[in-house]
Structures are given as structure tokens and as C-alpha cells.
Chain A
Amino acid sequence: MSYEAVIGLEIHVQLNCPTKLFCNCANVATEQANSHICPICIWVPGAVPQLSESALKQAALTCLALNCEIQEESGFDQKVYYYPDLPKGFQLSQHHKPLSRKGWLDITGEDGKSRRLRIHHIHMEEDVAKLVHETEGQARISLVDFNRAGAPLVEIVTEPDMRSSYEAMAFLRAVRTQIRYAGTAECSMESGTMRCDANISLRPAGSEEFFTKVEVKNMNSVKAVGSAIAYEIERQSKLLDEGQPVTMHTRLWDPEKNVTTYMRDKFAGPCVPDPSVPRIRMSKAQIDLLAERLPEMPSVKQARFVEQFKLTEEEAAQMSAERDLADYFETLVNAGITPHTAAQWMAGRFLPVLKEQQQEIASTSLTPDRAAELLSMLEKEVINAKQARKILLLMFTSEKTAAAIADEKGFKQLTDPAVLTAILEQVMADQPDAVANLRSGKKQAASFLIGQAMQQSRGKANPKLLADLLENLMGAN
């Protein structure tokens, strides 16, 4: 039987905020356990939560970046569960009155078509403490580190709109891009500032019903989310084919064995409004004021890059994928580099090297001004592509300009027609077969001859000029 997957995601994002959600403790990751704690975040009896205004604003900005409607009134509930990472027996979360509802993001599906995926709501909540399990002699012990307790989170709950692991991964990446643009969170699944649980159910293709869903946790990369979903679709299909029931429960993704395993029955604790946290009311004027803090978002920027710089859709999408990347690109263009060249160079040359060098685009030693000089030399054919590649690598390890490196390495491009003609004549004399092939119309023989000439020039010749000269020489003979 053929099934259709119905997938919804719950994405936790840790907000960039100087303090925790309900106290003034620093919201930073620290090695020293329990170094950023106070009576509020360890929940000593008698403590009263103090909602952070900056966390609220970061959360609201995140909602706006994901096209959600901020609710006129929202509030916190006590979400009950008993576990040592939560000493007050409940987590402060917005269950009944979330901060925002009804958002969406567009993704490009596997078929290349755009799809709008809906967000059901986004709510704020506090993070819980971290448990560290150790052994002391024979005894297993668990230690609690409260540095993370009370860190401000938002949880993004989607509608069950995704139909494949591909779409889920595309959605996660889109969420990450939007939030990074807004600058409200780092959104790294690897470092845990973004965590994603997936709810997956299957139904006969074409059916509108919702079947029993299974929740999968513990994926620490976008790719792992895709793999876990793909595995779960496979597993559930098998169950259904064999006539076995799918039961509602939570499973853990095992990244080493690439399987999901049973974790626990699905548990949803009760939620009662917390009278100690004031209700949140945001006026339209306050929301509008916040919205002004949002930068030009990726989809708008992408359209502008196509319109203003005549980039292809694909190039524009690539160049607008990250805010820092887009800024870098625009700096190059403003320095006079042809947009197409800048985009091609960034995607094909610069980004892979950046990754190799383990540098971030916002803080790389190869600033866009220095890169612009390099690209300008390339565009003016002072150097060729091969030389540019070598200079690029050297620019990461030194502070010298591209021109200085080119001088030092003797990387000036050979453009003297007399010298190039002499090289070509020598190559044609050495390769009579290739010349004959070229004469008989085999175009690839020309590439071979130019390649030989490039080698003779030790990579310094201007390949375009070589091609022109070769054509002349062939015509002359």
C-alpha cells in the first residue's frame, strides 16, 4: 500500500539574550557548573519570577521573522512534570496563551516548486537544568547544573504540513535563516541552541485523516532530522503493511546506529496559568516598533538581487541565504565587481576555502575589501583564475594585499601577444596530431593545445588571449 507521511515539527530555539528569562543571571554557556544561578533560577521557595523585557522582545522579533501574529495578550502557565532538572515541579511555558500564532515560511520543494508551510504558534518557555550522569565508585550518581536553567527559549510548533524528510529539512533551514537574519538566536543544532522534535504519522495516500503519530527526539543536525524522519516513515510503513498498530509514544534517534528506539510513552503534563507572572499585552504600536528592527529578510533580498543585480534565481538564493554572506556580497558589488562574478566566486571559490580555514564570514581575515581587490585584478585580467585561486589561499594566512602577493609570486598574467604566439607555435610544432584534429573540426583539440600552452607558461598565460591567438594562427596556416 502506498502511504503519505504527515510531519510536524517542534523546534526549540535558545534566544540571544544577556540574561535568563525570569532572573538577572547571565545567559551564557559556562564550563564551571552552577556559576550563574540565583534563588529564582534554582527556584528556592518564596522566589518570584521576573519576566525579562529583553527576552520578550527577542522572542517577539523571532515571531515576526517567522511571519507570526503576535497575540494581544499572552501569559505563562505552570507545565507540570517531576524530574531532577526542574526543581519546582513545573516549567514556565505558554501553553494556553502563546506569544504568537499563525505564521508561515516558504520553502522550495523537491520538485523545485515553492510551498508555504504553516506555523501553528510560537511560545516562550524557560530551559531546564542539565543533568550530568557519573559514577562514584560503584554508585551511579546524577549531578545537576543550573547554569542553563531559566535560559530563554521559544518553541516553534508547525502545522502538520510537511510530507517528506526533504521538506522538513528545508523548513528547518528556512527557520534558521530567518532567525539568524533577525539576529535573535544562533540556531545551531550542533551546539544545541536549536533543537528539533519531529511528529510523524502515515496515512494512505490521498486520505485526509490523521493517524497515530510518533514523536522522535535527539537529532543534533538538520541532516539527522531528515534521516530520523526517513527511518520513521520506513518503520511505520512496515508496521502498517504487516497489519500492526502504530502506538503513540516518543522515540529517540540513535545517530550511530541510524535507528529510532523506544524512549517512553507520550507524556503531556497539565498546565495551570501562573498568577505570579504578569500577563503580557503588546499594543500594535509596540509591535510595529519592534518590526522596524527586522532587517530586509531573505525572500525580499533575493528578489532585489534578481531585480537590481540581474542574478539568476539560484545565485540570488545563494547570496541571500545568510545575512553576513549577503552583506559580503553587496560589499563586493559596491566595490565595482560584476554581481555575477562576485556571486560565482563566492559560491565556487570563497565559501569552500572559508570552510576549510574554519572561519566565519562575519569575522574572516579576508575582509570583503581585500577580496574586492583580488576580484578586480581577475576581472581586469591582470591575473588569471588559477592565480586568483592561489592568491586567495595566501590571503587567508597573510595580511598582504592581492597585488602584493601577485608581485611577490610573479603572478602577473602573460598578456604579451608576441610571447604567447611564440609559445603557441612551439606547442603546435610539438603536437602535429592535435593540430590535424583541430583542422578536421574537432573542437576539443583546441582546448588541449591551449592547456599545453598554459603549462608551458607555467600557468601565467591569459587563456582567453591564447584562444584568440590560436584561432589566428590556425587561420593563417
Chain B
Amino acid sequence: MNDTLFNFINSDPAPAHSDGPLKDLRISLHPNISVAKWPTDAGSAALENFRPLEDATVVKRLKDQGAQLQGLTRMGELGFGVASDTAHLAISQKKSDAALVVDTMGEARYLSALAGAWGFKPSYGSCSRLGLIGLVPSMECISTICTSPRQMADIFSAISGQDANDFSMLWDGLPEFGEIKEKTGQVRQAGIIPEQLAELDEQEKKAFENALDGLTQKGITIKECSFPSYPLFKSVHQTAGSTEASSAAGRYDSVRYGRRAKGTANWNDMYLESRKEMFGSLVKSYLFQGAYFQYKDYDTFEHAARLRGLLVKQCRSLFKDVDIILSPARRRTCDALQAASVSDVYDAFALTLPASVTGSPAVCMPGRVMAGDMDLGLQVMGPHLSDEMLLNFAIEMTQENTRN
């Protein structure tokens, strides 16, 4: 069963436990988050006919808390970009209350801005990746698009936290979303990165400044934080991300699932021909870029990994002076839905890459950075593991006149 928004509709979304804290919450999922027996194809012929044996940890937890899992939306192939994604439409057309999506370069934040909704990407390592069919394992986080910040806290309270079966999670210091108390006044200083803002056009700048004015009126101090290495985020993400993707996508061989080329003479040909047929051109170019680093220029990958470490450190020191860093979530002129090349995709996500590269949490707030009637989203990035603070801040900002 499917329609234009959903790739798969769950005919029986009523959960076994209907009195949990997520009771009646209608949630749609990206088709790269495993639900047992659902056609989880990650938007790619490479996973044609693949049906997971087990639920992802986050899915188990959503079910336990009483959420209604509606089905699978459409998504960009293997989660690279958002071309043909419909998660945001499910929210803006009020078909779903929340969407669970995988954020690797800023997808959740970008799509929430598109939907005029709230978006949240947690700290890397705070939410189980078991059952996530990913492409760039060191960046991707299960994230959400929601209609209110309170919902984001409720959903993450349900799905985050230690998973004994995902050894790649952090061992301690995990955020306690259940403890969110709508505390106010945790955020006083907000930083903006001039190197980042320099890329914006006049209309975007103006829209962003308006949003900053709104925050200043709420008692937040805005501070310029120079980040000379800022331009590196894009190349670091692209180099590390494409390399990881090329290695991770090695599993798509058409043997047990995925589209298989017909009439091949032996298994080597079967691999080659099937891989030629199963990937779309955008993912293919991304995988080729990664394969180049893997096979021909590993030094550059290592260099990118070192620079990534450096960016994490520099980002940490920015947060010594400010509590959060603000920027729009997306550009006015770069349409990720139409992105046809790898560089188009990176241009569209330029503003959201820093949180993905550094594993930092980030919230996208609607209705604040308005370029005409276009919502660019206000992205609020916090230091690693400051998830509670960010969500408290988001809740605070929805309440009028909380500070002077």
C-alpha cells in the first residue's frame, strides 16, 4: 500500500501498549529505520525487497511508549540528500505529528525548516543506531521533525539512552531527556560565526538579523565568534562522508536483497552489473568520490579525519564563551529537493554541516528566520551532550515574555 507521501502505510498502527507517554502520537519513519517486516529500502533499489528481521532499538522503544507508527515516508537514496523526500510533507500536511528521520548532513533540520516545524538532531552517540541502515556511520543520527519542542523532548525521552546492543554509543554522560524541566535562563550568551554569515545573501542576512533581534529582546546576548576554520567543514564532511559511504555501501551486492542485473555470466559480473543498475546517479557520484579516497588517496581521508578532530576541538573552545551558536538552517537559494549533483547537495546543507561533523546537538526553530514567506529555520547548535539545555531553550522560546 502506498500513496504520494508514504512508501508504505501501516494498516494497523495501534500499538500494543496504548497508555504510554507517546499515546496517540502519530509518527512516520524514514525507510532506513528498521521495522520488522516492513519494506525498508532506504529509497534505493540496492535494498529492493529488503525486509528487516527485527525492529530498530528506537522503534521498539516508540512502540513500548505507545506511539502509533504510521508507515514509511519517501527519502533521498540511502539518505544522501533529500531529493524525493516526503517526511516534511507528512508534517506540514498534518498527516503525522512527528517524523523520525536520519540526519547525516542536516536533513532533519533542513526538512523541519521546509515544513515550518521543529527539528532536532541529538548529540552523536546518545541514541542507538541499531537498525539504522546508514551510509555515513560516523555522522548519522536518528533525529526528528516535530510540531512542538515538548514533543521532541518526549520522543527523545523514549528513544535515547543506553542500548546494550549498540557498543558504539557513549558509555556515560548521556542526556536525560526525561528530566527536561522547562528550565529557563540556561542560555544567556549566543554566538554567531561571521565566516558562516559572510556566505549569506542580503535577504538571508536580514532575515537572520531579525531573528537575532527577537532573541535580544528575550534577554539573550549575541556575540560574534570568529571561526577561521569554518570553510573546512564542507570538505571534511565530503571527504570523510563519501569515503565512509563507499565502504559502507560495499554491502549492497544484490545477493540476498536488492535489484539484480539479469543475464550475467558469473558472480563478478553480477556484482558489477547489479551495482551499476541499483544506484541512482547522485549516490553513484558520491560513492565514486569516496572510492577515490579509499583506493587512490587514503592520505587525504586521513587528513580529513585529523582536521575533523581539530574542528571538534575548536568548536569546543567556541563554547567556552557562548552557550549556543546560531545560524539559519538553510539557504534561500539552494534547494536541496532539486539538488542534482554532490556539490549541489553540499551547498544546500552548508549551514548544517558543522553539527554533523562535530557530533553536536542542534535544534531548528520555525518561524523566526523568515525570508519573505520562506522559513529558513533558526538553527541552535549546542556543545556535545548539551541536548537537555537546547530543548529547554526551545521550550522557553515558545513561551511569551519569559525574560526581560
Contact = CB atoms under 8 A, between A and B. Distances in A.
Answer whether A and B are interacting partners: yes
B52 A46 contact: yes
B168 A84 contact: no
Nearest to A51: B167
B284 to A, nearest CB: 16
A50 B165 CA distance: 7
Interface stretch (B132-140, B212-220, B224-232): B132-140
B167 A80 contact: no
Contacts of A142: 267
B69 interface: no
Contacts, number: 83
Given A51-B167, A276-B129, A87 B137 contact: no
Interface stretch (B248-256, B309-317, B374-382): B248-256
Nearest to A47: B130
A89 B250 contact: yes
Given A276-B137, A278-B167, A48 B251 contact: no
Contact of A82 (B166, B167, B243, B250): B250
A88 B137 contact: no
Given A46-B132, A89-B250, A275 B137 contact: yes
A275 B267 contact: no
A47 B129 CA distance: 9
Interface in B48-68: 50, 52-54, 56
A185 B129 CA distance: 34
B298 A270 contact: yes
B341 to A, nearest CB: 24
Interface residues of A, number: 27
Nearest to A24: B165
Contacts of A47: 130
Contacts of B252: 89
Contacts of B47: 45
B131 A46 contact: yes
Given A46-B130, A80-B294, A82-B271, A277 B167 contact: yes
Contact of A46 (B34, B167, B267): B34
A82 B270 CA distance: 11
A50 B255 contact: no
A87 B305 CA distance: 27
A39 interface: yes
A272 interface: yes
Nearest to B52: A46
B50 A87 contact: no
B259 to A, nearest CB: 15
A311 B253 CA distance: 61
Contact of A45 (B133, B295, B298): B133
B56 A87 contact: no
Nearest to B56: A46
Contacts of B271: 82
A66 B140 CA distance: 40
B85 interface: no
B156 interface: no
Q: How large is the interface on B (under 10, 10 to 19, 20 to 34, 35 or more residues)?
A: 35 or more
Given A270-B294, A274-B137, A45 B267 contact: no
A80 B247 CA distance: 7
A contact patch SS: loop
A48 B129 contact: yes
B301 interface: yes
A90 B247 contact: yes
B344 to A, nearest CB: 25
Given A45-B47, A274-B137, A88 B251 contact: yes
Given A46-B34, A89-B253, A272 B247 contact: yes
A90 B250 contact: yes
Nearest to A270: B294
A138 to B, nearest CB: 15
Contacts of A89: 247, 249-253
B250 A80 contact: yes
Most interface-central of B248, B256, B295 (chain A CB within 10 A): B248
Interface string B223-267: 000000000000000000001100111111101100000000001
A78 interface: yes
B168 A275 contact: yes
A212 B252 CA distance: 35
Contact of A87 (B53, B256, B268): B256
Q: Which 3 A-B pairs have the closest CB atoms?
A: A89-B250, A275-B138, A270-B294
Interface of B: 34, 40, 42, 47, 50, 52-54, 56, 129-133, 137-138, 165-168, 243-244, 247-253, 255-256, 267-268, 271, 294-295, 298, 301, 305
Interface of A: 39, 43-51, 78, 80, 82, 84, 87-90, 142, 270, 272-278
19 contacts: A39-B54, A44-B52, A45-B34, A45-B52, A46-B132, A48-B167, A48-B168, A50-B167, A80-B247, A82-B268, A84-B267, A87-B256, A142-B267, A270-B247, A270-B295, A272-B243, A272-B294, A275-B168, A276-B129
